[in-house]
A and B are shown apart, each in its own frame.
Chain A
């Protein structure tokens, strides 16, 4: 065997020089043409940072990528959720008789006839649960909020179930409810319990109140943000398929198949080999899939009740009955010297939560991390209301907290008659004073400089109401963005086969962010394989464990694990090569070889180049595949010496009608420092999409609650406004150079959240620059901008 192996391998040697692997080299033949990325290169020469197209893009546009509700089974039936119309009280009776008479109806599942569910709240805690008692769907007669699920109608067809659901009569003993945050400040309490990713406000430093009182220039402003709902394109759904052996395969809309499996097993008392959860394709989530929503348990229980496979999909209206970004009130006080030096910073927030859980997010801490100030005090409190528990939404906490500080800094700049960007540079934090640690990397200055240059900021007149076109005022505003650069554990498995194909597997998710693409790129680059030879598997709770896909940590965590496991494969391959009889690789070391074009290449000291196909190596070892696993654990000892964060600078231009207050955001530049960019095209898409959402947050998004009814009322996409194409104009994204080996071995941070942080503030600040009207509540609708009566 070795003879033929040597013949085949060495016959092709010395024909071409080996190509050194250059991880950061641009890909030849690719580039930007009229705003569209084209990839004309053979994709075998990918490198980290290549702007490759989504590896799952073709499957998605061909309809081959199946989203949750597209899964089915021969014995499938359909469940439609009935939601409460009262905000607080008890269910006294549920009359299902009319619904049960509808042909095709199999069951009306309520708290009275559901299958067994564990009562202890600890069994309902998921991996993203905040402190408190998690909601248990259909557990008992208690109604905590309007829109809470109270029954599931199960029928042979969806139409039968939907019709029958309209006939279910629920009788309540109504209790007084309260949903009004602003009317209940006196009930504000300090949050109890802990939550993943949450850290309470840092301890006060100096004497902020005295310093504020003594400061020659003061800003004292209050900001309000209404409720927002996630509304991903794909509605939440769960399909429970019963196998002949009783095994449950659960397709769930989730950002972690393991988290859903965890809750299903614990809440329903099932063993781990009785349930598999899958989520291979997710049509957007933005945080709404970080916790299993109520349809997950309802689908599994319903399947148990009727002993059939069951599909439960929420309607768009019901997407307003699950978690949301909490209504938040903030007050920021800034005291400064006349040269702009910050002397005092007080940042307080009060946000809503439910009666049963203390949902928390990092809202106020950012302000004193962004700006150097010796006298700082924070406050963060919650008011429990008769609402569903709020839920992480893209850049939770920062989207509100950074908005407030960045609008307050803008207000301060006018009080000082100082350029807003100059004011930020004046108070630039060289190290994080909250923790008194250095940043692992912080290229925010470069974001400011490069963003300002691309935007043309230096031409900006200082005074508001200085620029005009026709009947519109024109304004330019800017803001800073910041988010954590986190890393978590991740375990991956990699199998390289004799045919040269590689499969890398882990239970992470791809919520549309490009996980498949980034991981495929990392593996292909590491092993020098063409993209087509690499399959990345995710979205299955039986795969090696991975963190929830949230918080912008997936590339740094899972990506690093992929990189390590590929290195393990490379060591193994080199070992095989060296162990061959008469091997020319005998003296090769990992640092002296290259993995290129599916080959292991080695240039000897004498200049000879040897190469062997990876598949051939596996066959030579008498194997059909080699497998490696790796559990990546963050290097806590190293990481805890630093504060790790991503940064951005956002510049916006608006045009505002002088009479009507209608706002058009005509131009946005977002300059981002997020470490080394792994997958250039999907990373850019993340930022562009986040800017779109930031504009939407600034101008449109608002779930309106009728406090008399205790109910969200604009629960459809006709009246819950999100930005449409006509609202979006030029968006330029640039990534500044940054490479952070503290955050991850790849040098990468994450780009999921940072893109939205600061966008609404930049828009708000631009509106002030245009009109001289400061709007301190979002969304900034025309009635708040147009000057009238009061």
Chain B
């Protein structure tokens, strides 16, 4: 493991100050040979960061431990929604009575991810910052534009079965690995952030980036900004939502394709009034297509409508060989999840 300095903070203010400290460690070894990731990192659960450090993928020189910050609460907001503390653990969030009752989609998505041990450790803020599980990103012995910009992308013509079919770029076809974020995208959560310029709110759709020509940058969060919480809007779609995750084994595997679907159905007319469909495992960020979602509004929840919607979402999908199957799989998954969300799934 590379050498790093470690600081513990007791408040958001202290943490933000600590992260701006340039490491004072006199480094006889010169600059780090690999990577462009910021040299200063916050650490909470550490379930992803420590792995990446041990594999020589990330090389932080300063770790600011934020586990002591008072950000672990889950409480109702003034607007009628729910605030998820950045440091609340994934497991505590998934099993929280208000989450289970009002946002069952989020609970289901969290519980579809990782393992109980990891969910006990992983925090909500950290979940948003997971790095891709692309094989090439994880192996410091091979090129990767995300790890070493400009070194190339062997995945494009190589082993790309787990890679993106939507929104990829010539530089990167990696996917975002989170389940929780797929539900948060569908729920249109807001990420609450503190930084040197004060607090700001980032709409969930704007939090994660597409790779473009800077695949090394996953999110719009600045290196010296800290996620303090996630605000869920009042509408949780508790009546009509479903999360479906398709994977190579029944647990502890990242999604080949996952779908979070949330519907509001007018009880009187039986028509769809609001539709949200977010996909995981297919893009560099949780994928939503507003135009396709709008196509469902005013329609009755019938398979034909879902089929048409799925076709719209995947109209521009592109496979790279090994992952071509993800396109029909995603199509069927969208239809199945929408059926489940409105309770019309038939045998």
Confirm or deny: A43 has a beta carbon within 8 angstroms of a beta carbon on chain B: no
Confirm or deny: B248 has a beta carbon within 8 angstroms of a beta carbon on chain A: yes
Residue contact A783 to B329, C-beta cutoff 8 Å: yes
Residue contact B249 to A786, C-beta cutoff 8 Å: no
Q: A167-B29, A711-B142, A714-B135 are in contact. Are A788 and B328 (CB under 8 A)?
A: yes
Confirm or deny: A471 has a beta carbon within 8 angstroms of a beta carbon on chain B: yes
Confirm or deny: A725 has a beta carbon within 8 angstroms of a beta carbon on chain B: yes
Confirm or deny: A575 has a beta carbon within 8 angstroms of a beta carbon on chain B: no
Once bound together, how far apart are the Cα atoms of A468 and B54, in whole Å?
Answer: 47
Within 8 A of B (CB), among A341-368: none
Residue contact B29 to A101, C-beta cutoff 8 Å: yes
A709 contacts which chain B residues (CB < 8 A)?
142, 154, 158
The smallest C-beta distance from A528 to any residue of chain B, in angstroms, reads 47
The smallest C-beta distance from A310 to any residue of chain B, in angstroms, reads 20
Within 8 A of B (CB), among A647-678: 659-660, 662, 664
Residue contact A724 to B325, C-beta cutoff 8 Å: no
B3 contacts which chain A residues (CB < 8 A)?
163
Within 8 A of A (CB), among B288-347: 324-325, 328-329, 332-333, 336, 345, 347
Residue contact B332 to A727, C-beta cutoff 8 Å: no
Residue contact A782 to B154, C-beta cutoff 8 Å: no
| Interface size of A as a range | 35 or more
Q: Which residue of B lies closest to A169 (CB)?
A: B33
Once bound together, how far apart are the Cα atoms of A68 and B333, in whole Å?
Answer: 47
Confirm or deny: A685 has a beta carbon within 8 angstroms of a beta carbon on chain B: no
Residue contact A782 to B29, C-beta cutoff 8 Å: no
Q: A700-B248, A724-B251 are in contact. Are A660 and B329 (CB under 8 A)?
A: yes
B266 contacts which chain A residues (CB < 8 A)?
none
Residue contact B248 to A781, C-beta cutoff 8 Å: yes
Confirm or deny: A715 has a beta carbon within 8 angstroms of a beta carbon on chain B: yes
Q: Which residue of B lies closest to A728 (CB)?
A: B250
The smallest C-beta distance from B334 to any residue of chain A, in angstroms, reads 11
Q: A709-B142, A721-B253, A789-B324 are in contact. Are A660 and B246 (CB under 8 A)?
A: yes
The smallest C-beta distance from A230 to any residue of chain B, in angstroms, reads 18
Residue contact A471 to B347, C-beta cutoff 8 Å: yes
A167 contacts which chain B residues (CB < 8 A)?
29, 33
Task: Give the total number of A-B pairs whose CB atoms are below 8 A apart.
Answer: 110
Confirm or deny: B141 has a beta carbon within 8 angstroms of a beta carbon on chain A: yes
Once bound together, how far apart are the Cα atoms of A713 and B134, in whole Å?
Answer: 9
Q: A98-B29, A788-B325 are in contact. Are A725 and B249 (CB under 8 A)?
A: no
Confirm or deny: B8 has a beta carbon within 8 angstroms of a beta carbon on chain A: no
Once bound together, how far apart are the Cα atoms of A660 and B330, in whole Å?
Answer: 9
Residue contact A708 to B249, C-beta cutoff 8 Å: no
Within 8 A of B (CB), among A723-737: 723-727
Residue contact A721 to B336, C-beta cutoff 8 Å: no
B136 touches which one: A85, A102, A713, A726 (CB < 8 A)?
Answer: A713
Q: A102-B29, A708-B158, A788-B325 are in contact. Are A716 and B249 (CB under 8 A)?
A: no
A752-790 vs B: 1/0 string, CB under 8 Å? 000000000000000000000000000001110010110
The smallest C-beta distance from A99 to any residue of chain B, in angstroms, reads 9
A604 contacts which chain B residues (CB < 8 A)?
none
Once bound together, how far apart are the Cα atoms of A783 and B330, in whole Å?
Answer: 12
Once bound together, how far apart are the Cα atoms of A714 and B137, in whole Å?
Answer: 11
Confirm or deny: B56 has a beta carbon within 8 angstroms of a beta carbon on chain A: yes
Confirm or deny: A470 has a beta carbon within 8 angstroms of a beta carbon on chain B: yes
Once bound together, how far apart are the Cα atoms of A40 and B171, in whole Å?
Answer: 65
Residue contact A317 to B157, C-beta cutoff 8 Å: no
Residue contact B336 to A727, C-beta cutoff 8 Å: no
Residue contact B329 to A727, C-beta cutoff 8 Å: no
B250 contacts which chain A residues (CB < 8 A)?
664, 724, 726-727
Residue contact A159 to B1, C-beta cutoff 8 Å: yes
Confirm or deny: A532 has a beta carbon within 8 angstroms of a beta carbon on chain B: no
Once bound together, how far apart are the Cα atoms of A782 and B246, in whole Å?
Answer: 9
Residue contact A699 to B328, C-beta cutoff 8 Å: no
How many residues of chain B have a CB within 8 Å of chain A? 44
A664 contacts which chain B residues (CB < 8 A)?
250
Confirm or deny: A274 has a beta carbon within 8 angstroms of a beta carbon on chain B: no
Confirm or deny: A136 has a beta carbon within 8 angstroms of a beta carbon on chain B: no
A713 touches which one: B135, B246, B253 (CB < 8 A)?
Answer: B135
A339 contacts which chain B residues (CB < 8 A)?
none
Q: A85-B141, A167-B29, A709-B158 are in contact. Are A721 and B249 (CB under 8 A)?
A: yes
Q: Which residue of A lies closest to B328 (CB)?
A: A788
The smallest C-beta distance from A403 to any residue of chain B, in angstroms, reads 20
Confirm or deny: B28 has a beta carbon within 8 angstroms of a beta carbon on chain A: yes
Within 8 A of A (CB), among B204-249: 246-249
Once bound together, how far apart are the Cα atoms of A724 and B55, in whole Å?
Answer: 24
Residue contact A723 to B249, C-beta cutoff 8 Å: yes
A660 touches which one: B138, B139, B333 (CB < 8 A)?
Answer: B333
Residue contact A659 to B336, C-beta cutoff 8 Å: yes
Once bound together, how far apart are the Cα atoms of A146 and B154, in whole Å?
Answer: 16
Q: Which residue of A lies closest to B325 (CB)?
A: A783
Once bound together, how far apart are the Cα atoms of A714 and B139, in whole Å?
Answer: 9
B21 contacts which chain A residues (CB < 8 A)?
none
Residue contact B347 to A716, C-beta cutoff 8 Å: no
Once bound together, how far apart are the Cα atoms of A484 and B279, in whole Å?
Answer: 50
Confirm or deny: A706 has a beta carbon within 8 angstroms of a beta carbon on chain B: yes
Confirm or deny: B200 has a beta carbon within 8 angstroms of a beta carbon on chain A: no
Residue contact B329 to A782, C-beta cutoff 8 Å: yes
A725 touches which one: B133, B251, B332 (CB < 8 A)?
Answer: B251
Within 8 A of B (CB), among A577-621: none
Once bound together, how far apart are the Cα atoms of A711 and B154, in whole Å?
Answer: 12
Residue contact B29 to A162, C-beta cutoff 8 Å: no
Q: A659-B332, A660-B332, A709-B142 are in contact. Are A783 and B161 (CB under 8 A)?
A: yes
Q: Which residue of B lies closest to A779 (CB)?
A: B248
Residue contact B158 to A699, C-beta cutoff 8 Å: no
Confirm or deny: B256 has a beta carbon within 8 angstroms of a beta carbon on chain A: yes
A465 contacts which chain B residues (CB < 8 A)?
none
A724 contacts which chain B residues (CB < 8 A)?
249-252
Q: A659-B332, A718-B133, A724-B252 are in contact. Are A706 and B159 (CB under 8 A)?
A: yes
The smallest C-beta distance from A134 to any residue of chain B, in angstroms, reads 25
Once bound together, how far apart are the Cα atoms of A157 and B249, in whole Å?
Answer: 38
A727 touches which one: B55, B133, B158, B249 (CB < 8 A)?
Answer: B249
Confirm or deny: A704 has a beta carbon within 8 angstroms of a beta carbon on chain B: yes
Q: A102-B29, A706-B159 are in contact. Are A470 and B347 (CB under 8 A)?
A: yes
Within 8 A of A (CB), among B1-50: 1-3, 28-30, 33-34
A101 touches which one: B28, B249, B333 (CB < 8 A)?
Answer: B28
A699 contacts which chain B residues (CB < 8 A)?
248-249
Residue contact B246 to A662, C-beta cutoff 8 Å: yes
A782 touches which one: B28, B141, B248 (CB < 8 A)?
Answer: B248
B1 touches which one: A163, A716, A721, A783 (CB < 8 A)?
Answer: A163
Once bound together, how far apart are the Cα atoms of A789 and B1, in whole Å?
Answer: 46
Residue contact A166 to B56, C-beta cutoff 8 Å: yes
The smallest C-beta distance from A779 to any residue of chain B, in angstroms, reads 8
Confirm or deny: A624 has a beta carbon within 8 angstroms of a beta carbon on chain B: no
Once bound together, how far apart are the Cα atoms of A248 and B249, in whole Å?
Answer: 45
Residue contact B154 to A706, C-beta cutoff 8 Å: yes
Confirm or deny: A719 has a beta carbon within 8 angstroms of a beta carbon on chain B: yes
Once bound together, how far apart are the Cα atoms of A680 and B251, in whole Å?
Answer: 31
B133 contacts which chain A residues (CB < 8 A)?
718-719
Once bound together, how far apart are the Cα atoms of A159 and B1, in whole Å?
Answer: 6
The smallest C-beta distance from B59 to any residue of chain A, in angstroms, reads 9
B256 contacts which chain A residues (CB < 8 A)?
782-783
B345 contacts which chain A residues (CB < 8 A)?
471
> Residues of A at under 8 Å CB distance from B?
83, 85, 98, 101-102, 146, 159, 162-163, 166-167, 317, 468, 470-471, 659-660, 662, 664, 699-700, 704, 706, 708-709, 711, 713-716, 718-719, 721, 723-727, 781-783, 786, 788-789
Ordered by A's residue number, 7 sampled pairs between the chains whose C-beta atoms are within 8 Å are A101-B28, A166-B2, A660-B333, A662-B246, A700-B248, A718-B254, A786-B328
CB-CB nearest 5 A-B residue pairs: A726-B250, A85-B141, A783-B325, A713-B135, A726-B251
Other than the known A163-B3, A708-B158, A719-B138, what 12 A-B pairs have Cβ atoms closer than 8 Å?
A: A101-B28, A146-B141, A660-B336, A662-B246, A716-B138, A719-B162, A726-B251, A727-B249, A781-B248, A782-B256, A783-B329, A786-B328
